[in-house]
């Protein structure tokens, strides 16, 4: 029997980043939303643990030991006292790599959920989140896969402010934006941000949510733009669209998002952008 799990794209609606602490980590405050586009992970019983990778962006990933899906699977089996258990995992990679969409962490979370069910380990969400946090700073958030606020290193999770689902367009200009390089550029620029958590008003419409988010920021956007100016081209193109209510980069880039008043507007904008920029990865989605 094949088990399947969806690994949603993560979008940082805002990302406030403080200077690094003595141990080298950057405290953050971020509102994370999850899209109805993403990767897919399947699992089947097998004699040994293995991973195959396919999909539009599969060629850019290794199925070796450093893959987050395999690391998550091994961690789960170790916690479950079944280190020798097997499974055939298949990752269909539909999200760009090094894109600021939390793809690897979401893939790992999907693998944890799948194997927990398939092997009958019986771990609750809290236990799975603990394991996911061992894999990466946003592992627990991506395991949940629902809108939330993250603080600390990304492991301190709390409910998101109430707001409606957000129609959006995601655009990646086809360039990687490695997290480590962006953080180093942020530090070299004096790390001017801070991990402040903005107070949220009542938000009943997408326009109200966009207006509140406009007063927030992504502190990694300026250093990412310095390293890769083509991210700026994508941001400028989105901001110039008549449907645009808010445009911002997600995470450490290179994916940018644009909030729209309706899904129909988001789909119309995505279609125009795909025609005008066929080399870009463009998706209409809903963030929630």
Residue with tokens 């209409």: 284
Phi, psi values for residue 6, rounded to 5°: -90, 135
Cβ–Cβ contacts within 10 Å for residue 274, how many?
A: 17
At 67-109, the pLDDT tens digits run 999 999 999 999 999 999 999 999 999 999 989 999 999 999 9
Helix H segments across the chain? 68-79, 103-118, 125-135, 139-144, 179-188, 206-214, 221-227, 229-239, 263-276
**Does the fold of domain 161-287 match that of domain 3-158?**
no
For the domain 3-158, what is the CATH code? 3.30.230.10
Q: Which CATH architecture has domain 161-287?
A: 2-Layer Sandwich (3.30)
Read off the pLDDT of each residue in 214-239 and give the average, rounded to a whole number: 98
Long-range contacts of 159-163 (CB under 8 A, 24+ apart): 160/31, 160/32, 160/33, 161/31, 161/200, 161/203, 162/200, 162/202, 162/203, 163/203, 163/208, 163/209
Let me know if 10 is a catalytic residue: yes
The domain locations on the chain are 3-158, 161-287
For residues 151 and 195, is the Cβ–Cβ distance under 8 A?
A: yes
52's CB contacts (< 8 A; 6+ apart) are 63, 88, 89, 90, 91
At 145-165, the pLDDT tens digits run 999 999 999 999 999 999 999
At 116-133, the pLDDT tens digits run 999 999 999 999 999 999
* Choice among 39, 93, 107, 138 that is catalytic: 138
* Choice among 10, 39, 93, 107 that is catalytic: 10
Let me know if 138 is a catalytic residue: yes
């Amino acid at each position: 029997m094949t088990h399947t799990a969806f690994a949603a794209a993560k979008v940082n609606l805002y990302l406030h980043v403080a200077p690094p602490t003595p141990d080298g980590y950057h405290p953050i405050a971020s509102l994370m939303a999850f899209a109805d586009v993403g990767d897919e992970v399947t699992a089947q019983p097998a004699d040994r643990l293995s991973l195959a990778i396919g999909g539009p962006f599969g060629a850019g990933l290794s199925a070796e030991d450093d893959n987050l899906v395999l690391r998550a699977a091994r961690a789960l089996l170790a916690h479950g006292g079944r280190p020798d258990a097997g499974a055939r995992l298949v990752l269909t990679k539909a999200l760009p790599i090094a894109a600021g969409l939390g793809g690897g962490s979401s893939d790992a979370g999907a693998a944890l959920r799948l194997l927990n069910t398939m092997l009958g380990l019986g771990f609750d969400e809290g236990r799975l989140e603990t394991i996911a946090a061992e894999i990466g700073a946003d592992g627990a958030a991506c395991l949940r896969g629902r809108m939330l606020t993250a603080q600390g290193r990304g492991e301190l999770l709390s409910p998101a402010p109430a707001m409606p689902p957000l129609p959006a367009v995601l655009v990646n200009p086809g360039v990687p934006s490695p997290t480590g390089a962006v953080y180093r550029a942020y530090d070299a620029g004096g790390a001017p941000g801070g991990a402040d958590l903005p107070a949220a008003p009542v938000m009943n419409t997408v326009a109200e949510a966009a207006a509140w988010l406009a007063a927030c920021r992504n502190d990694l956007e300026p250093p990412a733009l310095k390293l890769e100016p083509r991210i700026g081209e994508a941001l400028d193109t989105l901001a110039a669209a008549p449907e645009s209510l808010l445009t911002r980069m997600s995470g450490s880039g290179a994916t940018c998002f644009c909030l729209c008043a309706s899904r129909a507007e988001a789909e119309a904008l995505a279609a125009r952008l795909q025609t005008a920029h066929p080399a870009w990865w463009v998706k209409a989605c809903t963030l929630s």
